[in-house]
């Protein structure tokens, strides 16, 4: 019985610890430069250049490598300005900051639908402050 309780405690700690790490990364993600998110960048995110912006449908088209991706910007989508190359602190952005020709990294709400669908967050690299 005691061994079973100890095993349950260890499993609970591992599960909760993993959830805390995921929540911690989500809370600090806006401060991580494009392409440097541990375990995410290039694996479950799309990195490329904004090829088109459709304000009416609130979508962007991203050209990256040999593929073209599309992301829907919803009310739940966080837009962050990655100003690290300008040596300035990152800050929150809006749909209006998503302009053709800018470098972006997109994390989709559904990792299985990488390359299409609603975005969870979008980091965009502005060219001027």
- Report residues of the chain scoring pLDDT below 50: 2, 4-23
pTM of the shown model: 0.78
Compute φ and ψ for 104, nearest 5 degrees. -135, 160
* Residue 21: per-residue pLDDT: 44
Task: Give the other-Cβ count within 10 Å of 90's Cβ.
Answer: 17
Fold of the domain built from segment(s) 32-125: OB fold (Dihydrolipoamide Acetyltransferase, E2P) (2.40.50)
Question: Cα–Cα distance between 66 and 12 in angstroms, integer?
Answer: 43
Question: What is the domain partition of the chain in residue ranges?
Answer: 32-125
Strand order in the sheet with 119-125: 67-72, 59-64, 45-54, 103-108, 119-125, 78-81, 91-92
């Amino acid at each position: 019985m005691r061994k079973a309780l100890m095993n349950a405690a260890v499993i609970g700690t591992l599960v909760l610890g993993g959830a805390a790490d995921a929540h911690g990364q989500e809370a600090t993600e806006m401060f991580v430069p494009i392409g440097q998110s541990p375990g995410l960048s290039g694996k479950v995110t799309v990195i490329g250049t904004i090829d088109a912006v459709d304000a009416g449908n609130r979508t962007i088209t991203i050209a990256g490598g040999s593929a073209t991706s599309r992301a829907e910007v919803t009310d739940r989508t966080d837009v962050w300005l990655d100003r690290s190359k300008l040596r300035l602190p990152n800050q929150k952005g809006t749909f209006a900051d998503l302009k053709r020709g800018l470098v972006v990294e997109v994390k989709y709400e559904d990792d299985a639908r990488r390359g299409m669908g609603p975005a969870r967050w979008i980091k965009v690299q502005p060219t001027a402050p």
